Amino acid sequence: MKNRKVPKFFIKNNMQKSNITGVYFENIISRDDLSVICYDLTGQRDFLYEFVDNEYEDEFLSKSYNKGRLGILRYFDKVFYISFSDISNKGRNSALQSVPTAFNLFFTNKYKNKELYFYFLPNSINNTTNYHIFMYRLMASIGFSFLNIPDKLKGYIKPFSSIDDLILSRKENSNKNSGNNATYIVKNGNNSYDIYGKTYGANKYDTSLICYAICSIAQKHDSITLFEYNEQDLSELPESSLNVLRIMGNINIINIDDELELRELRKNNSIRSPRFNARLLDRFGEKKCILCCCEISEIIQGAHLWPVSEIKNRKDLSLEQKVYYATDGENGLWMCQNHHKLFDSNIIIISENGKINYKDNIERNYKDFLDNITTNFELPSFIVTHKFQEYIKLRNELITQNL
């Protein structure tokens, strides 16, 4: 790379929809912005800048529109990648959708003397929500430094110290905004984690950034699996994101779909659980026992209403139907290990109207114990759907037959 004694910015002028909106990068980034950035990063007040077109390319910019809302600043042998905040107000996700792309471009470039920054444009809108703070912390965890941090954010943007720290923050953020459920991180036990990440729409940006952060802070003894989960057309993360995760190298990636379940059923007469768990996460959110409100993720399990063993043995069902019923989110509930075992043993019975009962003639001391560990004796109405009732009916018919 040619050394530059005077700092120079190279910025692709076209954004993805500039030809439709008529808004280009030169319309949203002022010379004052560039001056602030240049002085903060190089200590120099004099600089050059060039807004280049789609056809321009060099070792840092390819032929394309401005992916990642990036500016490249070169000074001597050093290269600064600067990702700019969004000034639109199109929703909570829009402001940071460009960040994973900016990181992909930075991370995969083999040039050694480079640094990665994020710049808050002065007219950015609503960038201090709990969601944004969580995302900024993810960015800090993967190596972003922040320029001109707004006063409201000072002291809040710090890297996560561990995967457990990230999970706790994610859970708190989700509790404050029930819409923040594109990606779930589940702890299975000591140093074992599953990520259920959706891959379509804006969700893929959340999933990518969370995975990057987890890979960056993971310890050697951590076991991490990403289950790519989709219910629409896009079945996996963009190839650029997958490439970064492969290079990071400490995460196992599994795409869960009906074909995976069908292969397992044909080969091993087994129905895997990732898709079922993903649909329970979609339906109920973070793991929490429906009967006692326990939230210790390591001991919360997906309990089937109509048992998988019975579904597999039904000769009147096709393989596709078996997979459908076994992985349907309405055929399950989150339960702690205690309640799951009690439910599978038919000591605890759920009626079609969602009432929680015990088996007939249960001993008094057993009933006292169950009363002590059970806090919910009626399921919330949103759970008791027509499909739910059908599954419970099938289960309870089996119990009657076996008496």
Q: Is residue 297 part of a domain?
A: yes
- Kindly give, in sequence order, each residue whose CB lies less than 8 Å from that of residue 85, ignoring residues fewer than 6 positions away: 69, 95, 118, 119, 120, 121, 124, 127
DSSP state of 37: H
Q: Looking at 103, 134, 159, which one is the last position of a domain?
A: 159
Tell whether 219 is covered by a domain: yes
As given in the structure block, the two tokens for residue 115 are: 């640094």
Indicate whether 305 and 340 sit together in one domain: yes
| Residues facing 11 on adjacent strands | 51
Minimal CA–CA distance to 132: which of 211, 209, 227, 195? 209
Instruction: Clarify whether residues 221 and 294 are in a common domain.
Output: no
Do 108 and 95 fall within a single domain? yes
Do 211 and 314 belong together in one domain?
Answer: no
pLDDT tens digits in sequence order for the chain, 403 residues long: 666 789 999 999 998 888 888 889 999 899 999 999 999 999 999 999 999 999 999 999 999 999 889 999 999 999 999 999 887 656 555 668 899 999 999 999 999 999 999 999 887 666 788 889 999 999 999 999 999 998 889 999 999 999 999 999 988 876 554 445 678 999 998 889 999 998 877 788 889 999 999 999 999 899 999 998 876 555 678 899 999 999 998 899 988 876 667 776 676 666 667 889 999 999 999 999 999 999 999 999 999 999 999 998 899 999 889 989 999 999 999 999 999 999 999 999 999 999 999 998 889 999 999 999 999 999 999 999 999 999 999 999 998 887 6
One-letter identity of residue 287? K
187 and 249 share one domain: yes
- Let me know whether 52 and 184 are in one domain: no
> Which residue is listed with tokens 């399921």?
379
Shared domain for 112 and 64, answered yes or no, is yes
User: Do 165 and 295 fall into the same domain?
Assistant: no
CA of 192: how far to CAs of 219, 248, 284, 286, 295, in Å?
11, 18, 22, 17, 17
Q: Which domain holds residue 101?
A: 4-159
243's CB contacts (< 8 A; 6+ apart) are 104, 108
Tokens of 141: 């965890």
Is 324 found in the same domain as 197?
A: no
Pair 39, 130 in one domain: yes
Establish if 283 belongs to a structural domain.
Answer: no
Instruction: Please tell me whether residues 133 and 17 are part of one structural domain.
Output: yes
> At residue 67, what is the residue type?
K
Residues, the chain, total? 403
- The crossing angle, in degrees rounded to 10, of helices 258-268 and 274-284 is 140
The tally of domains found in the chain comes to 3
Q: Are residues 138 and 168 in the same domain?
A: no
- Which CATH number do you get for residue 204? 3.30.750
Does residue 269 fall inside a structural domain?
no
- Hey, CA dihedral for 314, 318, 319, 322, is it positive or negative? negative
